[in-house]
């Protein structure tokens, strides 16, 4: 019987486990997790928008080339594409890939700005109506009476 008591003591979870469970189940953590999942899905949409819609237009304006293929070879033999340069082991400066990342960031930032702005308008609290001032507290009333009596003397 003493073995059963010893085993039950060993299987007891540490005190911090309950704190961790309470932390995880709070509303803010769940909201954050939902935001991360939606953000990951939104990232795919933005990448497609940049790669499939914006980059072809930029490529057309810059001479018909794929914008993500803009790079400078720092060390190695000349290559026609970034993939070929990487396959050959060349050291490249991939400024086109950086510009793609910058465009992705700007699109996400603009969309988030407009969403936050829209949400602020939807949840803006209405201005309080011109309500009458609150009634004086009993101590304020007593002090006002004392003041009035002192003025009469």
Examine residue 134 and state whether it is found in any structural domain, yes or no.
no
Separation of alpha carbons 26 and 22, rounded Å: 6
Examine residue 136 and state whether it is found in any structural domain, yes or no.
no
Range of the domain at 6: 2-126
Read off the pLDDT of residues 42-89 as tens digits, 9 standing for 90 and up. 888 877 887 788 777 877 887 765 677 888 988 988 888 888 888 999
The CATH number linked to 102 is: 1.10.1200.120
Read off the pLDDT of residues 12-53 as tens digits, 9 standing for 90 and up. 778 888 888 887 777 677 788 888 888 888 888 877 887 788
Whole-number pLDDT of residue 64 = 65
Examine residue 103 and state whether it is found in any structural domain, yes or no.
yes
Number of domains in the chain: 1
């Amino acid at each position: 019987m003493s073995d059963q008591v010893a085993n039950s003591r060993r299987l007891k979870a540490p005190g911090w486990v309950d704190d961790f469970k309470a932390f995880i189940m709070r509303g803010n953590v769940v909201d954050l997790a939902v935001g991360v999942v939606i953000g990951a899905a939104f990232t795919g949409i933005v990448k497609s928008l940049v790669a499939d819609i914006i980059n072809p237009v930029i490529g057309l304006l810059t001479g018909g080339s794929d914008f993500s293929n803009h790079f400078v070879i720092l060390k190695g033999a000349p290559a026609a594409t970034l993939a070929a340069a990487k396959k050959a082991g060349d050291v490249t400066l991939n400024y086109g890939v950086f510009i793609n990342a910058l465009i992705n960031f700007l699109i996400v930032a603009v969309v988030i700005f407009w969403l936050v702005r829209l949400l602020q308008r939807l949840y803006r609290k209405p201005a309080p109506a011109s309500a009458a001032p609150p009634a004086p507290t009993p101590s304020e009333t007593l002090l006002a009476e004392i003041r009035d009596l002192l003025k009469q003397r």
